[in-house]
Amino acid sequence: MFLFFSFFSKQIPSSYLLILFVIVISYYFFITKALNKQNFLYLFFGSLFSILSIIIIFYINEIPVKHFFIKYILYPLSLGEDRIYGIDINFKTLISQFKFIYFSLIPLLISLLFLIKINEKSLIQKKEIIVSFLFLGSIIIFIYCQLLTKNQVLIFFLIPISIAFSHSYANKYFDKKYLIYFILVIFMFSTVKYHIRFNHNKKFMELTNAYFNLAVDAEQLDNIFAGLNWITPHYIDVPLNEINLLIDTKNILSKVKEKKIIITDYQFFGTLLKNKIASPNKFYDGQGIPGKKNKYYKEHYDFFLDKIKINKVKYLYFIGGNKHKHHFFVDFIKKNKCMALNQINELLIELNIGDCKF
């Protein structure tokens, strides 16, 4: 059930994990003949519940199955083909940046080799070998997917999990103090290092060079931000200017009663303005939208146009990031000469499509 629903959040790596689990667990049931009636019923009803839940969600929200296959399966596959050919594997990307994950796995690998070597027929040890293979296979999948996505490193959470596995196996099969000390050193050093890097210096949010004493009270923008301080990489030296621009943008948009789509990385605007028409995409980049040469570009274009027509949208609003300059919207405006593009303030750009007859 977890793997099934996770697919709708992240197709990769959930689909790879599903394949891994199916293969390894099926093999385990085959060699141990442990697939009894109870286990089969768990698998059957778990799968049935997951599938029926998705069918009900599709039905209630009137989601076309065609859109699901294109958006969640076919387009990501076409995107993945390009990424696989362009994947950059070298010592730094594959070894150096993940070194603490590998270090934390050393005791687990030693324990696994020990289990395989003694080759006991015990069902318990077979289970532990299977669990080890599932865990190590999952680690490999996470690392591969991290390289494939070309995103900031998201998988350092694997370090404490790997250390927990290593500690459990090392303590059970070896009980050697030097292994426990090794595990503790890796755990403490990596935790402190990544705490400073990501929690304190905010590297993941591109705020390593920010002076946090410049941050301003976010409640100025809206009461829902009470207790939060505001600073972003976009206005890293003058966060008050950004807050004032966002307040101005909020006040302007709150007066627009016609139906509108808000396209922005400031995704709280939909909530602040109680705007019920969501943008078809979160990201307007080479990953979120098919390129012109991609065979699914027209499908996406028609999907976007249908959303506008069905919801009778009169305005598109772009807030920050020059998203209106993305090739998709440049092409969209060229094909429809009836549109008017207006710069409202430094952050806000309005695309008036009220005169268009789609």
Read off the pLDDT of residues 264-296 as tens digits, 9 standing for 90 and up. Answer: 999 999 999 999 898 888 877 767 788 888 888
Give the β-pairing of 340-343 and 260-264: unpaired
Which distant-in-sequence residues (6+ apart) come within 8 Å of 298 by Cβ? none
What pLDDT shows up at residue 240?
Answer: 96
- For the chain, report the end-to-end CA distance as a whole number of angstroms: 42
What letter does residue 317 receive in the DSSP assignment? E
pTM above 0.95, yes or no: no
What pLDDT shows up at residue 123?
Answer: 61
Tens-place pLDDT, residues 119-139 = 655 666 678 888 888 999 999
Packing angle, helices 99-118 and 158-173, rounded to 10: 30
Mean residue pLDDT of the chain comes to 88
> Which amino acid, one-letter code, is at 44?
F
Tens-place pLDDT, residues 236-259 = 999 999 999 999 999 999 999 999
What pLDDT shows up at residue 119?
Answer: 61
Q: CA 183 to CA 164: how far, in whole Å?
A: 9
Percentage above 70 pLDDT, the chain: 95
343 DSSP β-pair partners: 349
Q: CA 311 to CA 205: how far, in whole Å?
A: 34
CB–CB of 74/296 below 8 Å?
yes
Report for 67-71, 130-134, 169-173, 314-318: range of highest mean pLDDT: 314-318
Would you tell me how many other CB atoms lie within 10 Å of the CB of residue 351?
A: 20
Q: Is the pLDDT of residue 82 over 70?
A: no
What pLDDT shows up at residue 2?
Answer: 86
